[in-house]
Amino acid sequence: MVQWLSWVKSNEKEILTILDNLAIKAKEASEELVQMFSHIDKASEYHAKIKQIERDADDLTRSIFAELNKTFITPLDREDMQRIAAKTDDVIDFIEGISGRIVSYHISINPPYMLDIAKELVNAIKEVELMISRLKNVKADKSLINHCRKISDIEHTVDDLYRTAVGKLFETTDAINIIKLKDIYESLETASDRCLDVADVIEDIVLKYT
């Protein structure tokens, strides 16, 4: 019995550790995206790095789901942890998609507002990583609500930047370029939305234990 309980405890720690590692991968991917927009002439190089991070993240996500499927007792509600993992992985997928479009669309000049949006995305993901790292103490850490609010504020900032960027884009006349850039702007905005999705799940978890 003691051995079984010891296994359960170590398995819980393993799940939270993998989840934290996934959030760290999201942060790394977002930081590489900022570097890509800062050095657009090296886009292919940064895309390769982001693509590798995305593959590593997929492995971590599969590990999380595998651990959850074989664990009788989970540190938090199984569905909540699955949602956090899936939404965090979505963020990385969107970032990889954005970097891929920059390369495949042959974007050679940094589009207006994209670097600004990417920097805000980094800020949001840093908040996500911080919150996930504290999930082990979620029952006692009510300050997580404040970090959820910060992500909401960042998401509003991204929305404002997105609307401004698209508005300026439609003042131009190159239809092909409009289609390409609007696609990228939308993906950046959606990546920010996924960060807010993670924050919403974590806020729900905190409120369950209030």
Instruction: Note the helical H segments in the chain.
Output: 2-38, 43-70, 78-104, 114-133, 144-169, 175-208
Residue 10 in this model has a pLDDT that exceeds 50: no
179 vs 194: CA distance, rounded Å: 23
Interhelix angle for 2-38 vs 114-133, to 10°? Answer: 170
**Using one digit for the tens of pLDDT, what is the confidence trace for 141-176?**
678 899 999 999 999 999 999 999 999 999 999 999
For residue 12, pLDDT over 80 is answered with no
Q: What is the pLDDT of residue 7?
A: 39
Closest to 121 measured CA to CA, from 179, 187, 169, 178: 187
Q: What is the pLDDT of residues 52-106, one digit of tens each?
A: 999 999 999 999 999 888 876 666 788 889 999 999 999 999 999 999 999 999 9
Short-list 80, 53, 64, 81, CA closest to 11 = 64
154-184: string of b/e by CB count within 10 Å (b at 16+)? bbebbeebbeebbeebeeeeeeeeeebbeeb
**Of 7-11, 121-125, 161-165, 175-179, where does mean pLDDT reach its minimum?**
7-11
